[in-house]
Structures are given as C-alpha cells and as structure tokens.
Amino acid sequence: MKRQEAGQFFAHADPADMAVAVALAVAAVAYCTAAAAAESRWRTGWDDVTHDGRALVVSGARRMLFSGDMHYSRSTPEMWPKLIAKAKAGGLDVIQTYVFWNVHEHIQGQYNFEGRYDLVKFIRAIQAKGLYVSLRIGPFVEAEWKYGGFPFWLHDVPNITFRTDNEPFKQHMQNFVTKIVTLMKHEGLYYPQGGPIIISQIENEYQMVEHAFGSGGPRYVRWAAAMAVNLQTGVPWMMCKQNDAPDPVINTCNGLICGETFVGPNSPNKPALWTENWTSRYPIYGNDTKMRSPEDIAFAVALFIARKKGSFVSYYMYHGGTNFGRFAASYVTTSYYDGAPLDEYGLIWQPTWGHLREMHAAIKHSSEPLLFGSYSNFSLGQQQEAHVFETGYECVAFLVNFDQHNTPKVEFRNISLQLAPKSISILSDCRSVVFETAKVNAPQGSRTANIVQSLNEINNWKAFIEPVPQDMSKCMYTGNQLFEQLTTTKDETDYLWYIASYENRASDGDQLVRLYVVSLAHILHAFVNNEYIGSVHGSHDGPRNIVLNTHISLKEGNNTISLLSVMVGSPDSGAYMERRYFGIQKVGIQQGQQPLHLLNNNLWGYQVGLFGEEDRIYMQEQTDSVGWMDINNWTYHLLTWYKTTFATPVGDDAVTLNLTSMGKGEVWVNGDSIGRYWVSFKAPSGQPSQSLYHIPRGFLKPKDNLLVLVEEMGGDPLQITVNTMSVTRVCGNVDEFSVPRLQSRGKDPKVRIWCQGGKHISAIEFASYGNPMGDCKNFSIGSCHVESSEFVVKQSCIGRRGCSIPVLPAKFGGDPCPGIQKRLLVVADCK
C-alpha cells in the first residue's frame, strides 16, 4: 500500500465518499506512510507470493494483513466501489470473497458472470482501490447460502456423494475450480501476473464433517489439496478449519476466539492465518439480532496476533449485504450481517468500524517487531499475561487482562499500568500505550429509516388470488407415494403442492374428523375442498419435523386435500447433503375413534411452484386480463399476489421497504427479487427478526417502479412504506486520559464526529465538558459542567461534515473542577 494510493482515493472519491474522507484523510496518510516505509525496507523486487512461519510474503516482503469479507453476489456493481473504498479507509489490505458455484453454473454447462455475478469486475474494482484479494473458491462455501453454494443439478448426478472420495463429485468439483482458476489467469488477476489475488482457498471447514465419511474423508482432503496446487496459480492455497491440511496448503482458523481455539499451523513454515473472525451472529427468522461489541472483536484480534503470532485476520463479514432472491439458507433472513463494520446498506457502522481502524493502525505501527522480532511471553498476574515482540531496535508488547470484572494494576518493565476488565493494551516501544481494546474513542452513529412514500392509496393496488389446485388431472406429476420436495422442485421454487382425494362414506356418519400431517419442510398450509384449515411452521433451532393435527369437515363422497409445502431456504451444510429429505412425510385422516388412516400410498398429484411465479411476476404491463383485480372492499386472503408502483426517492440514501404489516412471502422490484420476508414470525422480543428490506438503487428506474409481492399469510399491503436509510445522529464521548489515535495531529485526545453520505452537522443536541452523566443514548449534565460547552462545539462543528474538539481545559476557558476526571460528550444531528 502506497501513500499516493491513499491520496488518490481521497482526491477522486465521489461526493458520497467525501464524508469518510473528512474524518480519515489524516489517518490514511499516516497509515500508508508507515506501510510504505516498511515496504521500502523489505521489498526485494520479486513478483510472487510465498509464505514462511511468520506471514504471507508478498514480493519478498512479509506482510501484516487485515482483510474483510464482502460477497459480490450480496451487493450490486453500483455499490462495489464505495464499499471497497470504505474498507480501505478502515485500514483493510485485503478483500476476501467466496465464489458461488450455483450463481455461475445454475444450469449445468451454462455459465453466468453478468451483473452482480461479475466476479472479474468485482476483483478489478478491488484492484482499482489498491487492495489485495483472497479468493475462496471452495466450491463448497456454506456461507448461510442456498445449498452451500452447490448448484442443485449436482444432486441429480448418478452415484454422486458430495465432498468425499467420490469420482462423480470430484470430476464436477475439479471442472468448476479449473474454470474459475482459468478465468482468473486469462484476466491476469493473480499477483504474479500483476493482479490482486494473493491467496486462494479450496474446500471450507471440511474438518467439521470429515469423520462422517470414514477413510474417504482424508483421501478427499489430500486429493482436493493436490488438485488445487497442481493448477499452478502462483499464490498459496489454504484450507480453513482443517488441521490436517496437506503441505503446502495452509491450515487456517475460523471462529470467535482463534487466539484461544486455534491449534496453530501444522508446519513450521506456515503462518497463522484467521480466515473468519465473526463480527456478529447472522440473523435467522424467529430470533432477535445478536450483535458483537467492537471491544470484543478487537480483544480477539489482538489476542490472536499476540498469542499465535498471527499475521492475517479477516472479518466475516466486513459487509454482509443482502440475500437477494431465494439464496438465503434455511430460516436465514434476507439481511445478512447487518451489524458488520459496513452495514447491509453500505453505511459505516460506528463505533465498530472506527475502533477496528484505530487498532489496525496501532498494530501496523509495530509491524517490524511483530513480523521479524523475537517472541516471549510471561505472567503478570493470576489472569494477566504479557506478550512481547522485539528486534534489536524496536519492541511492542501486548498486555492482556482476562478478568472480566476487575481492573488490576500490573508492573511491566518498571512501568505501572492499570488494565481495564477483559482488555489488551498495546504498547509501542514496549512503553507507550497506543491502543486499548476495551476503550472505545471512535464516534458512534444512529441510523434512521425516514418514510418518503406511503403505499396506502387503495386505487393504486391490484391483487391476484393464487388458486388452490384441486384437479389432479392438471398436475405436473402424479404418483402413489409422497415425493421428496427438493428432488421434485429442483430447488427452483419454495413451493410444492401435494393434492389427493379422500372418499368419505355416508356410513361414517358425523364423527369428529382430524387431519394429521407430518412434514420435514419449514411451513405447511392445508386446504380441504378449497377451504383453508390451518398452517404450521418450524424454526431454525426447533425439531426437524413440523406437525399439523387439526379438526376438519368432510362432505359425503369425494373430498380434495391440498397441502402447500413451503421451504424457507435449502440447507447449507452437513455431511451427505444430497441425501437430505424435505417435504411431507406422512398424511392421515382419523374419524372418531377409528385408527389413523394413512394416505401416504394413495394417488398424489404434484404442482410445482405457485401459479403466479411464472405468470405474474414478469407480466408487468398486463393487469385484469390475467386475473388482477382492484382491492376496493378487499378481504385479505392467504396466497395472494399484490402489485403497485412507487416513485424513486430523491438523493443517494439507501432505499428500503418497511413490510411490518405483511406476513410471509417474497418481493420483487422491477422483476428483481429483493428476497424473502417473514415478519409474522416474531422473535422473543415480540419484534420481527427483520422488517426493513433493502432495494438497491441499481434495481430502480427513474420513476414508476413496479412492486410485486406474494403473501402467504394475509398481511395488509396498504401499510407498506418506502423509506430511506441514513445516519442522522452522531456522537463522540472521550475523556482527557484517553490514548490519542496514532493518526492524530498532536498528542491530545479529541472528540471527532462526522456525517456520512454528504450530510452536514445541522444541530448540536447535547454538549458537555466536565463529568456528563450517561452515554451516547442516554445523557445529562453532571455535577461538573462548562456552560460554554455547547457554544464551543457549535463554533467548531455546525455546517461542517466533520469536526474535532480537543478534550482540554484551555479549549473551554479553563478547568471547571480541578481534581475530577473530565470528558467531553457531544451528540449532533446530520442533515
């Protein structure tokens, strides 16, 4: 990374990026100056990538690398440049991505590298910003992605068993991996060719399932490694969570605390690499969002570098993005890792982004002893330890406190230091604290979803009621058994209708009748004689089977049972995925006290998908001629299609739909699916797991955007709103003893706040220099307060995109309360 590259980024950034530039120009110059100086010392002129026991060696230089996962298929080409620029400004060196087989070869032998699947364009966008690429080819990726990234046609290959020493699988896997490697070579994208790819991955977390395949597992690992290495990419290969990765493939760690769990490289000439540091918990329907604090992420990174001599850390995810269409795995929400340093919409998530950026700078500042120095470690107390790296003239120390409750005082090289609970202090030159994982000085931000259009005009809506199939003669398939769902649908749709007839004899009388259905799908909707009788659904962590056991009414003679089986994503992991069974497993009717009469072997008809999936979504110009109707005096039904149009919001802010009023279904905008929704499945908090659904601006037209929804469970479309998402409130909270950032001009701590997306600081909601009470969410003036605090802050900040205020008595006219530790708390609005 060179200083001029950082300068070009800030000089040529578009207006939306300039908000980042205001706050980060000084940081980027300082960061890149240090990197350039180190590079000039280490570089030998070689144009390859190798490795030794300390690090990846790029052009002859050991490198300390910070990486972040971004998946090209979870965002759009219009978003890529800004996302990458913000990652670079956050101190990243590398962008890491999976390669998704099932988007590139959805149909066997037919390849798609267009639009958001344009892998080459994505890699070139990374290269244009001066970053490296870590390419995780897999081709099994898991990633909470449909079928773990495998195309479903692989399931139907004769005699195939996934991910083991199985010739049909190995042949198809090798074909795809070779296809990707050949494409990368043809485009000159590997580092020895002048491209940005410095490392690749084969397979993914295979050790988790290896034992299930017996002796075939280790044979497959050896084969996969040899196959990859023989492709001669000129860069190293790695296997994550694979302790027995064969030489020269590097075994790497995935997880939350690799500083504690990683067994280490399995060869002395392999470096310690952390390929997935999970920045939050991916959300699933029915669960509340689980965030991970920036303090915890930073602690884990610093511990990995200190204990394991780590030299590569990748954040999974750095930008999660959106699971468009039906690509989310079972029960996974459409929004993916929204709590990552860059949120679903590409907004900077503070304070996580800023806290990690400061840590990156602190660690890069001591790259030389970390990569070349001798290592020692020793105890500082019962739950405290020191890790020291030093050359003949440079030294860095990591002082670790595992105690989560106490702040012990430790002695290190004649220096007395107090360590915060569960924290790591990084000491440059083994004397000066340059970063503390538990002390967050980065600004904070709050997002707001602003309503720009309410879709409550009833005359603008059309509806189409999905017919319940009852005529088996019109079914696509029939058979005297219950079909497995994914085998039948080829995973081209979430929906499969099971239709059967049941003869009710007059002699049966008016006995109580129950319908009993067991399913291994995710949702079941049941109808008898076209009348809805009930639904049932499962959950991510619940039992595999769902059971509907309900009273029904039968007429004399023939009765039609129509069961809609619904998948909310296909599996993404596990051994023998090709053998997994989904769909209805058992159907019976019980009359009175008679035994359950099983219908499993009756004649069943099958209708794949909903009628509207093919005939409604893309027929944008047709209305009543294909069954659409006005919804005046409408009674909301299950299985209904709705459509309307909406205007494109003015500006550049991210666009969302608020679907809180709906139930369960899928949404299309101008023919592009923005994903599944399921707001009726509430989390323990009583709130939907996700209510806002991202519409990338690349999906929108200048006006008259067509919105189409299929609603399974009722819902009220008249309460849907179009929103824009932006950071409208920022906050800084820094005390006078905080460690100044390495990138700071001067040695005094400062409150720094800035607005994103071209917005300016429009108002100061709160400002207090003294001992203000609370934090950025709940705040009030304390016993010590300078009356001019608000005036001073306004003078520095109003009308600007960003500002910094020293936390010094002189800035506020003197010390208001000697002997009391002071801090500055500022809360501002952005418009």
Bridge partner list, 624: none
Of 203, 205, 466, 666, catalytic: 205
What span, in angstroms and rounded, lies between the C-alpha atoms of 678 and 665? 6
Rounded to the nearest 10 degrees, the angle between the axes of helix 15-42 and helix 3-12 is: 170
Task: Please give the helix or strand (H or E) that residue 602 lies within, else none.
Answer: none
Q: Is 187 a catalytic site residue?
A: no
Which of 60, 54, 49, 424 is CA-nearest to residue 264? 54
Contact between residue 470 and residue 742 where contact means Cβ atoms under 8 Å apart = no
Q: Which residues of 160-187 are buried (b: 16+ CB within 10 A; e: fewer)?
A: bbbbbbbeebbebbbebbebbbebbbeb
Q: What is the DSSP letter of 344?
A: T
Q: Is 205 a catalytic site residue?
A: yes
Q: Kindly state the tokens that stand for 295.
A: 């303090």
Which one-letter amino acid corresponds to residue 141? Answer: V
Distances (CA, A) of 123 to 101, 135, 191, 526, 772: 17, 9, 12, 48, 47
Which one-letter amino acid corresponds to residue 606? Answer: Y
Of 105, 203, 210, 276, catalytic: 276
Q: Kindly state the tokens that stand for 194.
A: 């002048």
Cβ neighbours around 748 below 10 Å, total: 14
Q: Given CA atoms 101, 103, 106, 109 in this order, what sign does their dihedral have?
A: negative
What span, in angstroms and rounded, lies between the C-alpha atoms of 539 and 450? 32
What span, in angstroms and rounded, lies between the C-alpha atoms of 35 and 5? 12
Which of 719, 667, 657, 658 is CA-nearest to residue 687? 658
Q: Kindly state the tokens that stand for 37.
A: 């100086």
Supply φ then ψ for residue 766, to 5 degrees: -155, 140
Which one-letter amino acid corresponds to residue 490? Answer: K
Q: Kindly state the tokens that stand for 548.
A: 């509907």
The length of the chain is 831
Burial of 502 per CB tally in 10 Å (0-12, 13-18, 19+)? buried
Contact between residue 437 and residue 428 where contact means Cβ atoms under 8 Å apart = no
Q: Kindly state the tokens that stand for 655.
A: 């666009």
Q: What is the DSSP letter of 199?
A: E
Contact between residue 805 and residue 798 where contact means Cβ atoms under 8 Å apart = no
Rounded to the nearest 10 degrees, the angle between the axes of helix 216-229 and helix 167-186 is: 20
**What torsion, rounded to 10 degrees, do the Cα atoms 32, 37, 38, 43 define?**
110
Cβ neighbours around 268 below 10 Å, total: 7
Distance of CA 23 to the CA centre of its chain: 25
No. of H helices and E strands in the chain? 14, 44
CA angle 333, 338, 339 (to 5 degrees): 130
Q: Kindly state the tokens that stand for 142.
A: 């898991």
Q: Kindly state the tokens that stand for 399.
A: 């002082």
Active site residues: 205, 276
